[in-house]
Amino acid sequence: MSKTPDSGKAEDDRPSTVEQYLVKDPERFALNMARMIEQAGKAASAWAEPREKGEVRDHIAEPVVDMVKTFSKLSEYWLSDPQRALEAQTRLFSGYMTVWANSIQRLSAGSEDADDAVKPERGDKRFQDPEWGRNAFFDFLKQAYLVTSRWAAELVEHADGLDEHTRHKASFYVKQVSNAISPSNFILTNPELFRETIASNGENLVRGMRMLAEDIAAGKGDLKLRQADYSPFEIGKNLATTPGKVVGRSDVAEILQYDPATETVLKRPLLICPPWINKFYILDLNPQKSFIRWAVEQGHTVFVISWINPDERHGTKSWEAYIREGLQYGLDTIEKATGEKDVNAVGYCVGGTLMAAALALMAQEGDHRIKSATFFTTQVDFTYAGDLKVFVDEEQVAAVEKAMNEKGYLDGTKMATAFNMLRSGDLIWPYVVNNYMRGKDPLPFDLLYWNADSTRMGAANHSFYLRNCYLENRLSQGMMELAGRVVSLKDVTIPVYNLASKEDHIAPALSVFLGSKYFGGEVDYVMAGSGHIAGVVNPPAAQKYHYWTGGKPAGDFDQWIANATDHPGSWWPHWQRWIEARDNTRVPARKPGKRMKTLGDAPGTYVKVRV
């Protein structure tokens, strides 16, 4: 239980009095306010200077215009019918009246027994401080906010005249605005922040403004929100530490081979194709969480593609280049390193989407080296894609392409911001409050270090992905063109292990399920618990979550779940049994460098290039 700086009493025992919100040392408080303004000036300078020099060009107008257009369509629906508009206004007014009546009852009775008009959703951590409930002022703010934000969400939900894409965007934008205007985000409307500011005489704001200036400077004019203390981490020292060697290097990828941990290994090597939107070491964060290390310990000869962090030199590198110089180059390297042509392959997220397209192309070209394919949270059909689809329509894609063509790539911070916005209530606003208002350094966390280690998007590659997958959904429809051919997933007849995550907001479990039907061969659909990362990175020793297996991924998704078998713990051993059922032939362990020259130690050099 936390304690306040000005008293030794626990928060739950502190009397709700006006005194705790009154400045005790006006001179010191005024001095700190002056220091805060000074630091705020430095933050403003860090933002303005690169713009004055022409080093940064703002493209904020495009998303703001899109949000205004979306809200205009929403408003048009409700205002086009006076009766409908009156009913909506009446619902909001009724909610406010209930909040007001409860507040009057609480003040007149001097008790906290009045029922709230609306309660925070389960798991909402913003209103945990006791003062949100027992102080009439803060309780009123909380309830008025919740009534308003839920009313706004219901406006979107019940706007029957909107097309699904506009509804999706409206829901997303309403959520962003609601999260931003929460009273928990402001000093004077958050009791905990208010008390801390008074207790420290504003020193928290001085520290916060200093951190804000540092983070804008670190972002070279854009805010690079720190989500963790990054200083304890170093790639190759305490992240991505599974021993191995770099055995190949192309313009877009390094190929890593890991040292064996068993005397014999599976005859088929394992090639992992991670997303280029993030760095591969999410699968090798530390020895306890590392899927790569675990796979090595199960007897796999593991090879991993480590993608380049592209710059202007890679602006014209297309999906075909990533297939030829990444995936197929990895297969060539495996053959040189081990003598084996037959390979098991894993694709994660967009790396899996690339691999699926590559398999369709390779099937037409007669390249059958990949004998089984495993997809981690991968979409091949984008009909029911996740919230990232909010950012994809013709106008927004054209704006992104225009921004990319100026440099040949999209800044990594832009993609990181988009991902953070998908869960802004967890990944943005808590850190804004902690860092810039409380003035506290975030704690060390390896996962958030990886999350902040963003990558750029090469122009040709990213444009092809946005248009062919999210915008036009060409892969599942058998219309994607690669290397002068029109490819079809029906040509992919090898066994497929298709892993989804139940709470995935990037590749929804429904989307992965529906994508299964487009492959031409046997597909085993497995749904893990948790989300896009934790659902995949779930080592058996942790004994966390569940996974579900069932029959053929066809028909109604909810019915499949209802009939599925629930298994406690990690899906990793289930996948291992699936791999071994296809081919369990073992051979003596293979050490990197035995058949070819190595180019350095894993994790290599490409992964260490930062934005």
Catalytic (active-site) positions: 349
**Whose CA is closest to 528, among 554, 556, 507, 552?**
507
For 110, phi and psi rounded to 5 degrees?
A: 65, 30
Structure tokens at 39: 């630091």
Q: What is the dihedral of CA 526, 527, 529, 535, to 10 degrees?
A: 70
Cβ atoms 383, 512 nearer than 8 A: no
**Whose CA is closest to 213, among 42, 439, 434?**
42
As a 3-state breakdown, the chain gives helix, strand, coil percent values, each rounded to 5, of 50, 10, 40
Task: Look at strands 480-482 and 457-458 and give their pairing.
Answer: unpaired
Within 13 Å and on the Cβ side, how many CA atoms surround 203?
A: 7
Distance CA 527, CA 563 (A): 13
Distance CA 541, CA 562 (A): 28
Cβ atoms 223, 452 nearer than 8 A: no
Residues 6 or more apart whose Cβ sits within 8 Å of residue 67: 173
Give the 3-state secondary structure of residue 373. Answer: strand
Residues in the chain: 611
How many Å from the N-terminal Cα to the C-terminal Cα in the chain? 39
Distance CA 330, CA 151 (A): 53
Give the 3-state secondary structure of residue 498. Answer: strand
Q: How far is CA 235 from the centre of its chain?
A: 20
Cβ atoms 329, 250 nearer than 8 A: yes
**Whose CA is closest to 20, among 181, 184, 125, 137?**
137
Cβ atoms within 10 Å, residue 22: 8
